Structure 1
């Protein structure tokens, strides 16, 4: 198979995972798109350097991480919202997700989607506005007619509920495997 076809298949397979990773690191949707494109170009240019005995996704995330760090190093006005520990933690959790059963990224994050559906409506609305529709906090505050502090608390509580729900689903999945 031609290298460009292989690359196209790999990118199609991993694009949702890469976007999820970038959205966790970068606040602005336009910057997510920009770094996503830069990552694709760099991956294509360095495809010959890729060690085929290793998984593709971590290699791709490594390229993306370098672009994110480079952007924030060059930027005089933007601040990286996380440190190396957070980057490592995120990498670990995405790696764990990759090990879960499922053919596609959507299959792998299905438990998260189920947990989102179970959220109380006010939390679900807030999570979807911020992370699914990628709206800025200022827009969400206006739409929901709440204060910025109330939005922050609502997002924190919703994330905690999601974390607990996912932990419960993970524990139940572990019991079924034994």
Structure 2
């Protein structure tokens, strides 16, 4: 039996393995990509659209990705291109970033990935210290991806109250993470 007939009778494993690899890489980096997009695209809905367009483009172009190189800079490059397209379409908006700044932000986010594991550990520790209600609000917003209105409806509050609560939670988490990262850099030292 020739190799050709074996290949045609057996399922092609490469595309399945490629999809698995993409799934793992995307799940590891999508929050960093989202953070980058939201740091440039002010409109929340537009940022989500750009993230979806980025994910689709990454899936479409994944065969072109050089696996010997880091994934994050490559995916941020794809995101940068999608951001620039979105910003050009909406150039009449008053807050539009120039292309150099968008590129600099992508470079910065690539460098941030180095410290990402420590930050994720710190964030996880900080989230675990939150009260149950605060963790529930975070889950509704970031796991279930609900809007402020939907969160308000689910929790029996107003959208404004939900937004303020989320803002306070994010600030508390930011302060906690910064403290923990500072503590990691200077263990046992005077703070």
Common topology (TM > 0.5)? yes
TM-score grouping bracket, smaller chain normalisation: 0.5 to 0.7
Secondary structure of 1:134's counterpart equals coil
User: Structure 1 residues 73, 21: closer, same or farther in 2, change over 3 A?
Assistant: farther
Root-mean-square deviation over aligned CA pairs: 3.9
Q: How many Å separate the matches in 2 of 1:160 and 1:87? A: 27
- Alpha carbons of 1:21 and 1:138: their partners in 2 closer, same or farther (altered >3 Å)? same
CA distance in 1: counterparts of 2:188 and 2:109, whole angstroms:
20
Which of 29, 34, 41 aligns to 1:18? It is 29
User: Is the deviation greater in 65-74 or in 93-102?
Assistant: 93-102
Q: Deviations over 1:119-158 (max 9, x none)?
A: 2333222222111211122211111122222122111111
Q: Which residue is equivalent to 2:162? A: 151
String of CA shifts for 1:44-73, please: whole Å, max 9, x gaps: 3x43xx595x53311221112312432454
* Runs of 5+ unmatched residues, structure 2: 1-13, 39-43
The TM-score, its normalising length taken from structure 2, stands at: 0.64
Task: Return the index of the structure with the highest Cα Rg.
Answer: 2
Deviation of 1:13 (Å): 4.6
Alpha-carbon distance in 1 for matches of 2:16, 2:88: 34
- 2:174 corresponds to: 163
Count of matched residue pairs: 166
Q: How does 1:33-72 map to 2 (within 5 A)?
A: 33-44=52-63, 46-47=64-65, 50=66, 52=68, 55-71=70-86
Could you tell me how far apart the structure 1 residues matched to 2:161 and 2:96 are?
Answer: 22
When normalised by structure 1's length, the TM-score is 0.68
| Distance apart, 1:12 and its partner CA | 4.4
* Inter-partner Cα distance in structure 2 for 1:75 and 1:128: 31
Contact 2:127 2:173 in 1 (8 A): yes
CA contact (8 A) 1:130 1:136 kept: yes
Q: Could you list the runs of 5+ residues in structure 1 that have no partner in the other structure?
A: 103-107
